[in-house]
Structure 1
Amino acid sequence: MSETQPTGDEDALEIEVPADPLAGHPASAYLWGHVAGSGDVATDQIEVVTNDESSAQVLAAIAGGNLEHETTSRDYAHDTSITRTEDEYTLSIGGGEGDSDSTLLGRNGALGLPVDGRGHYRFGAFSSHDRELLRGLLEGCGTICFKSSSGTVGISFVHEDRELLELVRELIDDCPVDAPYGDLGETSSGGYWFGVDDEAAPAFGTWLYENCGETGLFAPSRRRKLEASLEQAESYDD
């Protein structure tokens, strides 16, 4: 099954949509990376938030649901003295919207989803699609930036769930690119974060978005941010 969705580029792309959004598939891995990174799973509803419209439309094509847009202001995760305003797209799945009233993505209750009774994620079904899973996680709870002080690219993950970040670190350990990272630290907002080493960030980011244009499973604004940061770093070296 496939659906045509805009990707933020000039042309629309056929998104391959799995028959089961919980089965092992690149699109389902990307979806659940986003859900874990910036979403919430309840008994009868899933909500996932992104600031990239094209990515939000892709997630809706994969799982259905209702998509809403608003402009929000929030504190920067690393420094709550800094506030940023951005577009926010919220995809609501279930709750009587896009699914039957008695099931959520075809399952009876949240325990049928890749989440255990304590709210921790189980990603074993997506083990063959770690790149898409990591890309969804990065777009859900990660940052990409150019560090002007050192002329390097920074990639980090930020979340209030320490165990989720430990799982992200395990996924990075298993990826084919050598990407060492720092220790988990606390943010000023009470969450946790860690960063990929600056020397490894370009290779890791390049691998993460390699060939993603062929599937449409990516946020165009995030890929542009990575490309711009890499170009800045190269110019700095020159």
Structure 2
Amino acid sequence: MSETESAIEDDADAEATDGDASLEIEAPADPLVGHPATAYFWGHVAGSGDVEDNGIEVVTNDERSAQVLAAIAGGDIEHGTTSRDYAHDTSITRTEDEYTLTIGADSDDTGATTTDSDESGLLGRSGALGLPVDGRGNYRFGAFSSHDRELLRGLLEGCGTICFKSSSGTVGISFVHDDRELLELTQELLEECPVEATYGDLGETSSGGYWFGVDDDAASDFGTWLYDDCEATGLFAPSRRRKLERSLEQAEADE
């Protein structure tokens, strides 16, 4: 197994996070319109969520990120744990926190940015029709094209990893998902970045999914751009940003 693939299978968010019960996020009343908050939300949904006619479910290892998603689109958060084998040694099992946000159709969720409570259906729509995902599970991100940074940040926190690659002394940023077309769409978004974000070819993971990595010589600048000014909006997972900061520090010290 390559170092890059090992990094993909290791979760970058397995650490304590900063919860904030009074979290306030600026977001539009309609969770489908173009806005930094909705772009971040749908990036997360695409990366680690599931959309059905009767609801949306998003999973994250970061408590504050789950609270941000709930502030944007309503829903209920359930805290649990999950266990899996450590990528480098399958004899070791690691237990991690897991936060699941569930947004149900015809629910009484009254998050600050949800649609009017007298509208039925999922986010005020009849089922999944009208959401930025078609019946085959393909995502449409056209409405969020002016907010590519937040969209990519949601995607990275949903299905990506950040690590320090000790063998090369560089920061590693990768995306992994079972849906090849979603990763191809992510690559298209990277091509439109205002900073260099060159990437490698799609490959298969040992678990049967797909992955690709941002090139080592572009990862530091891309990661820095991705989280620049995120404090101003609150649209980020603190654990993931801390992982990036530590990796950048290690890469700088290794030069």
Scaled by the length of structure 2, the TM-score of the pair is 0.85
2:224 is matched with: 206
Partner residue in 1 for 2:18:
8
- What is the CA-CA distance between 1:10 and the residue it aligns to? 9.1
Give secondary structure in 2 for the equivalent of 1:222.
Answer: helix
The aligned amino acid for 1:212 is C
- Give distance in 2, aligned partners of 1:93 and 1:13: 18
- Counterpart in the other structure of 2:63: 53
Partner of 1:18: 28
Matches within 5 A, 1:93-132: 93-97=103-107, 98=109, 102-132=120-150
For residues 35-71 of structure 1, the C-alpha deviation after alignment (integer angstroms, 9 at most, x for no partner) is 0000000011000000000010010000001100001
Distance 1:159 1:79 in 2: 20
- C-alpha root-mean-square deviation of aligned residues, in Å? 2.1
Q: In structure 2, do the counterparts of structure 1 residues 80 and 194 end up closer, same or farther at CA, with 3 Å as the change threshold?
A: farther
8 Å contact 2:105–2:120 — kept in the other structure?
Answer: no
1: CA distance, partners of 2:241 / 2:85? 23
Question: Could you tell me how far 1:174 is from its partner in structure 2?
Answer: 0.5
- Structure 1 residue 84, shift from structure 2 partner: 3.2
Q: State whether residues 94 and 100 of structure 1, in contact with CA within 8 Å, keep that contact through their aligned partners in structure 2.
A: no
Please give the residue correspondences for 1:1-238 in structure 2 after superposition, counting only pairs within 5 Å: 8=18, 14-75=24-85, 81=90, 83-97=93-107, 98=109, 102-237=120-255
Superposition deviation, residue 94 in structure 1: 1.1
Deviation larger for 45-54 or 12-21: 12-21
| Cα distance, 1:8 vs structure 2 | 2.9
Q: Do 1:9 and 1:220's aligned partners in 2 also have CA atoms closer than 8 Å?
A: no
* Secondary structure of 2:189's aligned partner: helix
Counting aligned pairs with the same residue, the percent is: 78
> Higher strand proportion, which one?
1
Question: Matches of 1:164 and 1:65 in 2, distance apart?
Answer: 25
* Secondary structure, counterpart of 2:83 in structure 1: strand
Whole-angstrom CA distance in 1 between matches of 2:244 and 2:121: 38
Question: Normalization by structure 1: what TM-score?
Answer: 0.91
Q: Which runs of 5+ in 2 are unaligned?
A: 1-16, 110-116
Distance in 2 (CA, whole Å) between partners of 1:194 and 1:152 is: 16
Structure 2 counterpart SS, 1:194: strand
- 1:18: Cα distance to partner? 1.1
Q: Over residues 73-130 of structure 1, what are the superposed CA-to-partner deviations in whole Å (9 max), with x where a residue is unaligned?
A: 1356x77937532110000001443267941001111121001121100000000000
Distance 1:220 1:12, change over 3 A: farther
Task: Name the SS for the 1:37 alignment partner.
Answer: helix
Moved more, 184-193 or 98-107: 98-107
Match of 1:127, SS state, is helix
Unaligned runs of 5+ residues in structure 1 are: 1-6
Answer whether contact 1:142 1:156 (CA < 8 A) is retained.
Answer: yes
C-alpha distance in structure 2 between counterparts of 1:46 and 1:10, whole Å: 23
* Structure 2 match to 1:3: none
SS of the residue corresponding to residue 25 of structure 2 reads strand
The CA distance in 2 between the partners of 1:145 and 1:202, in whole Å, is: 11
- SS state of the match for residue 33, structure 2? coil
3-state SS of 1:156 partner: strand
For residues 173-214 of structure 1, what are the alpha-carbon distances to aligned partners after superposition, in whole Å with 9 as ceiling and x for unaligned?
A: 001011111000000110000000011000000000000000
User: Residue 106 of structure 2 contacts residue 121 of structure 2 at CA under 8 Å; is this kept in 1?
Assistant: no
